[in-house]
Structure 1
Amino acid sequence: MDIQNMQAFVSVAELRSLTEAAQKLNHLQSNMTAKIKKLETYYGTALFYRKPRGMELTPAGEILYAQYKQILLLWQDTEMKMRPQEEKLRVGTMQSIVAGETTRALTKVYEMYPQVSVTLKTGTTTEMEQFILDGELDIAFVTGYPTNPYIHYQKICREELVLVGKGIHEGSDLQQVLQGASIIILSDSCLYLTHLEKMYQDMQLTHSEVVEVGIFDTMVEFALMGMGITLMSKKLARQFKVASYLPVPPVFGYMDTYLISRPNHKMTAIEHKFIEINNTI
């Protein structure tokens, strides 16, 4: 088995599409199909169910995916260790985090290591996890919960959450703030939306439309203009000089931040320094 066949299989399994996997790996779709058929012939069993909505792993495919994933992670780690490496920092973060301490930490790292090559990607927790698994990033900051067995999660901190919107203050009635309000979020896959939806469900309340803005600064501005409400950490609310906000009840009021990496990734001196600076800001 060669690495390219493994990469092809894993990409099809994760994307559930031959077309998207071919685009990701810069292959012709016919080549991807041939690679999958070659694997199925080699193992003497079907690895995918071909369905109208996409490719779905068979039980045998699930076993092979777990094995190939571990092999590819080890291969990526070996490549990193064996090839001469330039001074680099490949880090990812969510937009809500990059708006604060991450940007300042990167500035300080540049001052200490002027020759460092920096790659910074932003996105959702799911996107950051995929960047790590694909070897496009080495470390990333995410919020939420440890869910992927192929990723190492290190808890960094627990953030207190607050609701922000026009006229909202510490004495506001939570049910009145939530009922019928429009929700402003960064993206429809944002964990803060999932968190808010759980609040609405548990409190048996309903909200109006969900407004996706994509830019953190804009999200805050829209909320303060009265276009809806948004959820964020108290730390970020203070960084953006939000004058008043409503703390969320303890049962809903916290979200953990994690540093993630591949399990076999060995932290470099630059990464250690970046994390150290980031944690002290």
Structure 2
Amino acid sequence: MDVSDLKVFEAVARLGSMNRAALELNTVQSNVTAKIRNLELELGVQLFQRQARGVQLTPAGRRLLPFSPKLSKLLSDAKTAALDDGSPNGELEIGTLETTAALRLPTVLANFARTYPLVRLVVTTGTTCSLVSDVLGCRLDSAFVAGPIGHPDLLHTPVFREELVLVAPRSLRSLEDLGFLQNLQTIVFRIGCSYRLRLDTFLASRGFLVTQPLEFGSVDAILGCIAAGVGISLLPKGVVASAWRDGRVSIHELAPEDAIVETELIRRRDTYVSSAMSAFLNCLTSERFPTLQAAE
């Protein structure tokens, strides 16, 4: 059993398909099938029940699954530690919210890439829910998410504070006018976005019944739909400032308990802090964010 075996096993278990796992791992299905078969022979148990449409974990597979990302990460950390001479290098995988990537990170990432050219920085966007899952599953080294995050396996560091505002078509003059909107439509990121949950809670507290939301994967797409009069959203004020100044949308401030959200940097407690990760943390600190002391 080695790192590649465990990586293939985890992908098949998560995706429920040898073929989909092969696509994600950029290999052919026969290689994935052979890896799983060899792993089953080595362990002496069947890990997957083959079905007409994909595969399903056996009881033995379910017992192995929680160890797979931890073992893979431990072996990867061991290799990284052995090769880590203090000069930042190798690969660093960072996750982030779409809004954080647009508003807060361009300067940080540019400075980091310029200062540490030997580090291959990979940035992935997602929702808070998906990013937490990817950090816990050791698929990301760290991620920027909307707090508070209180998982016992994670270190969480408040990095900066956002003020959320209700973003609406120009015709909406105040929050009191929401009741006059016909077929109130929300325009949001996919399920797992904390801003989406806050918007749902805010509207429910005011007695609004919202139809099926429209889901998009980018800030620009959401703002474009709002500008066209399709619906409303809840986004950081800094992200929508340009569209508001251009007169494309209207923004409406909320009470602090609805508006203020802390963006946190999360990472696993039990992983090796490489020179590349240390350099990234130092780069954040140099951008005049709050002191990055990991919260317990």
Q: Same fold (TM over 0.5)?
A: yes
Gaps of 5+ in 1: none
Distance 1:120 1:179 in 2: 43
Aligned residue in 2 for 1:7: 7
Sequence identity, in percent? 27
From 246, 251, 272, the equivalent of 2:252 is: 246
Aligned residue in 2 for 1:121: 123
Aligned: 1:164 with 2:171 = no
How far did 1:77 drift?
1.5
Q: Cα gap change, 1:145/1:105 in structure 2, threshold over 3 Å: closer, same or farther?
A: same
User: Size of the alignment, in residue pairs?
Assistant: 279
CA contact (8 A) 2:93 2:124 kept: no
Distance 1:52 1:205 in 2: 44
Distance 1:203 1:50 in 2: 50
CA contact (8 A) 1:179 1:207 kept: no
Name the TM-score, length of structure 2 as normaliser: 0.73
CA contact (8 A) 1:91 1:138 kept: yes
CA contact (8 A) 1:158 1:256 kept: yes
After TM superposition, the structure 1 stretch with the greater mean CA deviation from structure 2, 6-15 or 160-169, is: 160-169
Aligned residue in 1 for 2:96: 93
Aligned residue in 2 for 1:275: 284
SS at match of 2:66: helix
Distance 1:163 1:49 in 2: 48
* Equivalences for residues 126-275 of structure 1 within 5 A: 128-129=131-132, 132=135, 138-143=141-146, 146=149, 152-166=155-169, 167-168=171-172, 171-173=174-176, 176=179, 180-187=183-190, 190-200=193-203, 205-208=208-211, 210-238=213-241, 241=244, 245-248=251-254, 252-263=258-269, 264-266=271-273, 268=275, 269-275=278-284
Gaps of 5+ in 2: 291-296
User: Residues 73-100 of structure 1: CA distance to partner in whole angstroms, max 9, x if unpaired?
Assistant: 1112222222356547653322211211
Aligned: 1:28 with 2:28 = yes
Distance 1:16 1:149 in 2: 28
CA contact (8 A) 2:89 2:116 kept: no
User: Residues 120-152 of structure 1: CA distance to partner in whole angstroms, max 9, x if unpaired?
Assistant: 524213554566578775333122564877654
SS at match of 2:145: strand
Distance 2:64 2:148 in 1: 26
CA contact (8 A) 1:159 1:234 kept: yes
RMSD of Structure 2 on Structure 1 (CA) = 3.8
Aligned residue in 1 for 2:293: none
How far did 1:6 drift?
1.5
User: Residues 151-198 of structure 1: CA distance to partner in whole angstroms, max 9, x if unpaired?
Assistant: 5443434534221112445x4227527773222234466443344345
After TM superposition, the structure 1 stretch with the greater mean CA deviation from structure 2, 132-141 or 18-27, is: 132-141
User: Residues 27-53 of structure 1: CA distance to partner in whole angstroms, max 9, x if unpaired?
Assistant: 432332333334344444443344566
Amino acid paired to 2:279: I
How far did 1:71 drift?
0.9
Distance 2:288 2:199 in 1: 27
Distance 1:52 1:194 in 2: 37
Name the TM-score, length of structure 1 as normaliser: 0.76
After TM superposition, the structure 1 stretch with the greater mean CA deviation from structure 2, 178-187 or 95-104, is: 178-187
